[in-house]
Amino acid sequence: MTDKWTDTGLLALRVGVGGALAAHGSQKLFGWFDGYGPSGTGQWMDSLGFAGSGKNNAVLAGLGEFGGGVLLALGLATGPAGAAVAGAMTVAGSTHVPNGFFNTSGGYELPATFGLVGTALALSGPGRFSLDHLLGHTVNRKWMALAALASTIGSAAYLISTREQPPSAPEEVDATESATDQAAVAASDGPAPGSDA
């Protein structure tokens, strides 16, 4: 394989995953693609037990996803962008752990995959078909990627460790009414399993 094929593969990966992340983040930031915007997503974040304002947390998560996704797709500041994605997806994945690995059960499969791609791109760089290459990597130095990865993973660890587990639903409440039921968690990354949406 030649470097041209590697660069083409990196371009495809960046545009595909970056575009998906940008769309996902736009649901939180702008309410696009049937998203709930900062207010609705903030209420959901509050129900998950994260410290601070749910609306602020929704905006920060949306910025990590939308901003990181757009920058990855463009191949601009790829190291810090990949790190932002890795941190956001680490926190997102932590909320899905109780449901196991697979996305069909509301598990952490998708955030783990996006986070791994973000980390890999932060470490590997964007390839020649990128704005970073065009600009001489002025905003994509290896030290920037390593510092950003350390910072976002540290921040994610803090957010996860200070999260208060939501209270369990009383036994007399049907699981479909509980804020912590499987469908509610799965709905955070798409429609509930088995739905037609």
Q: Is the pLDDT of residue 123 over 90?
A: yes
Query: First-to-last CA distance in the chain?
Result: 41
Please give the average per-residue pLDDT across 148-152, as a whole number: 94
Higher-confidence residue: 57 or 193? Answer: 57
* Phi, psi of 102, rounded to the nearest 5 degrees: -75, 140
Computed over every residue of the chain, the mean pLDDT equals: 87
Give the per-residue pLDDT at 168: 66
CA-nearest of 90, 86, 109, 88 to 190 is 109
Alpha helix positions (H), 75-141: 78-96, 109-124, 131-134
Confidence of residue 165 (pLDDT cuts 50, 70, 90): confident
Of 20-34, 36-50, 67-81, 109-123, the one with minimum mean pLDDT is 36-50
Give the per-residue pLDDT at 2: 59
Interaxial angle between packed helices 3-30 and 37-48, expressed in degrees from 0 to 180 and rounded to the nearest 10: 90
Q: Per-residue DSSP letters for 4-47? A: HHHHHHHHHHHHHHHHHHHHHHHHHHH--TT--HHHHHHHHHHH
C-alpha span between 5 and 7 (Å, rounded): 5
Confidence of residue 171 (pLDDT cuts 50, 70, 90): low
Q: Which two tokens stand for residue 96?
A: 């899905």
Which residue type, as a one-letter code, is found at position 10?
L
Cα-to-chain-centroid distance, residue 177:
26
Q: Could you tell me if 132 and 113 are in contact, meaning their C-beta atoms sit under 8 angstroms apart?
A: no
Neighbouring CB atoms inside 10 A of 27's CB total 22
Which residue type, as a one-letter code, is found at position 155?
S
Distances (CA, A) of 120 to 85, 104, 110: 11, 25, 15
Q: Could you tell me if 133 and 126 are in contact, meaning their C-beta atoms sit under 8 angstroms apart?
A: yes
Residue 177 is classified by DSSP as G
